[in-house]
């Protein structure tokens, strides 16, 4: 896998990213994890780790734990069978 890219402000999906296109999310603004889950039909009531696991179980993304910061856990999303995407999420707890 390639190197992880720094998370954008708020750790959102960037507009036009592979994951956003994968979910049919043609959007002008970045998507939060909750918005990504809503578009994928996944309940975003659990932790970020659980929500990402649900997206992975639906085959929408592969979830790979990335480096953990002191105040947040970050995840890189990949398309199944593809290279790592430049998308990181923060668990909002």
Residue range 6-40, pLDDT digits in tens? 333 334 444 445 454 444 443 444 556 677 777 77
Please report which confidence band the pLDDT of residue 75 belongs to, taking 50, 70 and 90 as the band edges.
Answer: very low
Would 79 be classed as within a structural domain?
Answer: yes
Rounded Cα gap, residues 91 and 93, in angstroms: 6
Place of tokens 């009531």: 45
Strand partners, 73: 68
Would 37 be classed as within a structural domain?
Answer: yes
Q: Structurally, how many domains does the chain consist of?
A: 1
Predicted pLDDT at 10: 39
Name the residue range of residue 49's domain: 18-90
Predicted pLDDT at 43: 73
Would 80 be classed as within a structural domain?
Answer: yes
Would 2 be classed as within a structural domain?
Answer: no
Q: Taking the CB of residue 75, how many other CB atoms lie within 10 A of it? A: 26
Q: List alpha helices for the chain, DSSP H.
A: 18-22, 33-40, 48-57
């Amino acid at each position: 896998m390639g190197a992880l890219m720094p998370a954008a402000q708020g750790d959102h999906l960037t507009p036009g990213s592979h994951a956003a296109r994968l979910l049919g999310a043609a959007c002008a603004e970045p998507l939060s994890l909750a918005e990504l889950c809503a578009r994928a039909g996944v309940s975003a009531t659990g932790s970020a780790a659980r929500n990402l696991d649900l997206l992975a179980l639906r085959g929408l993304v592969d979830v790979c734990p990335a480096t953990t910061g002191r105040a947040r856990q970050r995840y890189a999303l990949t398309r199944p069978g593809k290279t790592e995407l430049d998308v990181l999420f923060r668990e909002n707890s």
